[in-house]
Amino acid sequence: MTRIDLIPPELVEKQKARSIIVIISIAFAFMFGFIIFLYAVIYVQKVVASNRVDVIRQEKNKVEAATSTLKPYEERKKTFDERQDIVKKITEDQVSWSSILNNISMVIPNDVWISDFKADLGPILTAKDQKAAAPTTSPPIQITGYALDHAAVARWLVHLSEVNQFRTVWLNSSAEKELEDNKVIEFQTTVYLTKFKDSDKGKK
């Protein structure tokens, strides 16, 4: 069977050109729509990011405003810390003997009396005068006295250990002795100051 094409070749070429133009137009329209969609997405993201920046800026302003109200307190705290450091430096090597003696008077039993109180702070004072480091070893404080019996000496040791400034209470000696025709117990105790925390570690 023979096919006879009655359409002129010029018309066929025109139809092909129209088809190509339509296809290109559709492609350009699709690309243009895609570009518009992409631009819209980017614009929305920009708006969202801008809003976030505004929120962060507002929070920052609030924080700065709150911080500015705390500055006077920061300055006061700084001044307080400086003064506290000065007081600490002044009092770090001092021993409050009045407080120690007062605490001893509060805990001493009625049947015990003290005859001698000896504390050697020479190493600490020498180190301070020579601008050298004070020793960490606490100087021993020896307390000698008399009691009516050994039970009174035991009470004395228990009460002495309750004094806040003292620790590591030792009984050096306890012996019966005559004093003005009366039998008493002469004792000697050694204590260490609490502020020297590593002073007599391992000592008896």
pLDDT on residue 8:
66
Element (H, E) at 170: strand 166-179
Residue 92 C-alpha from the chain's centroid: 21
Q: Which two tokens stand for residue 100?
A: 């120690």
Which residues, in sequence order, are CB contacts of 170 under 8 Å at separation 6+? 189, 190, 191, 204
pLDDT on residue 203:
40
More confident residue, 136 or 32: 32
Q: Which residues pair with 142 in a beta bridge?
A: 118, 190
pLDDT on residue 155:
93
Residue pLDDT, tens place only, 34-79: 888 888 888 888 888 888 888 888 888 888 887 777 777 778 888 8
99 — pLDDT class (breaks 50, 70, 90):
confident
- The rounded mean pLDDT for the chain is 79
167 burial (CB, 10 Å; 0-12 / 13-18 / 19+) is: middle
